[in-house]
Structure 1
Amino acid sequence: MQQRNNQTGFTEIELLEHLPALRNFARRFHASPTDVDDLVQETYLKAIANAGKFQRGTRLRSWLYTIMRNTFCTKFGLTKREDVGFADDTALQVSVPPPQEWNLRGHELERAIADLPEHHRTAIKMIFIDCMSYEDAAQKCGCAIGTMKSRVNRARLQLWTILDGG
């Protein structure tokens, strides 16, 4: 699709040429790479949806920056709104269970993890206790990422069955 679309005034290639600049601009709003990617993606979605509003002869990058800035400001404003009347309502406050039960459940979890097969126990430890990424854990174990995810999933199912009597 190298030709200009008569309705939009820009091509998909022209749109994608601005991807690195948009990523850099999005980093001003977010530190997290995931949030940066989400903001860029939402900007592109809005640009495509509103392509008919783009005026030929104007700068596409500036138009995309404006969409991104407005998208961020709208989302930021929504997250800053507070729920009126909920903070002081004691009926909505969650009761705290006695610490003895958490202590008991912690010991049950330790025993359940100890009863897992070695490769499942290792996967749970690496992912949930050591906070390793699936990629790093798979590399350390010498297996594929899918295998590591499968081991974690099977271990979680076994733990759920043991702890909840499922």
Structure 2
Amino acid sequence: MNEPCFHKSLLKHSGFLNTVAQKFARTREDAEDLLQETFCKALIYQEKFKAGSDLGAWLYVIMRNIFINKYRRRRKFAEIIYAPADKQSSNHGISKSSHQDILSRNILIQIHKLPELFKVPFVLHLEGYKYAEIANMLNEPIGTIKSRIHFARQILKNVIERG
């Protein structure tokens, strides 16, 4: 399918995808972001679309996968931030939610204190980018990106354990 036809076909599915995005997302802004990211991925990978197959279904799968990946990353991030709080909150007389807020702020501060070499790929990973995407963005080998993210985690873990 040539590029102008592909673009027109994408636009024909925007109403359907907008409805799906509204059902997936919690807010209107999140739905708009999901829709935009779906269209961006579709444009990036348009050569993988097979002419004659169902474009709406293909776009739906892209959107669903983006949503699932973001959900998993949010859950993983929440586990990183809140897991230590569950162990400590009852021992100090501080409410669980207050302790989690303090811990979350402390972790964010520590993330921003990381050396740029580690901070940039780590933050991109937390935002939901895959290793390969980060490697492309930073023009680095994927192994280097994985190592830097690993070292960032280790640094943060050590800082949090020291309290």
TM-score (norm 1): 0.47
Relative to its length, the structure with more helix (as a share) is 2
How does the TM-score come out when normalised to structure 2? Answer: 0.48
**Which of 1 and 2 has greater Rg?**
1
